Structure 1
C-alpha cells in the first residue's frame, strides 16, 4: 500500500461512518489488528450462515428465530462486503 492510499477498516465510528487507516506498512499494529478483526468477522459469518441454514431448514422455526437469523445474516453480509471492498482496494491495479 502506498502512503497515499487509505485502508478501509473493518469497523465504523459510533455514528456509523467508515474508518480509514493511512499507514506506510501493511504490518503496523493497527493493520494487524484490522487483519485479525476481518478474519474474525469472516469466521463469524460462516457460523451465522450455518445457523441461518439450520433455521431455514426447520419447518417449525418461528418468526423470532427467522428474524434473528436474518438479522445476524445481514450483519455478517455487511461485514463481509466491507472486508471485500477493503481487500479489493489493496490489490495492485495490474492484478484487478
Structure 2
C-alpha cells in the first residue's frame, strides 16, 4: 500500500495495519511509542542472550525459549525497519 504507514501491530488475523494521514496524529504517536518499546526490548533481549550464553550451560528449554523470544523480536524490528524505510523520501531525479 503506497502512502500509508505500516503500523507496528497487526490485525487479530495477522494482517498488516496501515495508517493514512500526515503522521502527526494520536495513532502516529502511539505507533512511535510502540516502535520505541519494541526496539528497547530487542536491545535488552540481545543483552540477555549474551549473558545467558556466556555464563554456564543452558538447557534446551532455555534455548528454545530464547530463540522464540528472539524470533518475535526480530519480526517486530523488521516491521519497524520496513515502516521507517517506506517513509524515507525518494529524491527527485532531476
Task: Normalising by structure 1, report the TM-score.
Answer: 0.88
Runs (4+) off by over 3 Å: none
Aligned-pair Cα RMSD in Å: 1.5
Ranked by relative contact order (alpha carbons within 8 Å, sequence separation 6 or more), the top structure is 2
Deviation at 1:57, TM superposition (A): 2.0
Any stretches of 5+ residues in structure 2 without a counterpart? none
Any stretches of 5+ residues in structure 1 without a counterpart? none
What count of residue pairs does the alignment treat as equivalent? 91
Cα distance in 1, alignment partners of residues 67 and 55 from structure 2: 14
Contact 1:44–1:76 (CA<8 Å) still a contact in 2? yes
Cα distance in 2, alignment partners of residues 56 and 34 from structure 1: 33
1:92 to 82, 89, 93: 89
